[in-house]
Amino acid sequence: QVQLTESGGGSVQAGGSLRLSCAASSRTVSNNAMGWFRQAPGKDREFVAGVNWRGGDARYSDSVKGRFTISRDNAKNTVYLQMTSLEPEDTAVYYCAVGRSSGAVGRSTVQRWGQGTQVTVSS
């Protein structure tokens, strides 16, 4: 089964930027939508951003729209999340996910999760 490995998390001050990467162990993910989710302590895991198999039709949660950008490079089996203007409310473990379909990924349609990477934003 495909393995997803996230990297790029860390600690940053409010207003800063981070770029998360998620590398897949198999090229099969190039046929699937991929996305990013996050889970803060005591809260449910929530959708952050998703993109279709071609890297188009990017979708974002209202809380990150205009600050985060999702992209993918199928030649590298990698999806990225560029995060700017970070806020303390963005503090969470961020998870990469592969969807079951090619078009979109949602909380209930995830086929595979990554192990997560911690993002901490201080005020």
Residue 92, helix vs strand vs coil: strand
The β-bridge relationship of strands 46-51 and 34-39 is antiparallel
The torsion defined by the Cα of 64, 69, 75 and 76, in degrees rounded to 10, comes to -60
pLDDT digits (tens, 9 = 90+) for 16-30: 999 999 999 999 899
Residue 35's contacts (CB-CB under 8 Å, 6 or more residues apart) are 47, 48, 49, 50, 51, 70, 79, 96, 97, 99, 105
* pLDDT tens-digit readout, 30-83: 999 999 999 999 999 999 999 999 989 999 999 999 999 999 999 999 999 999
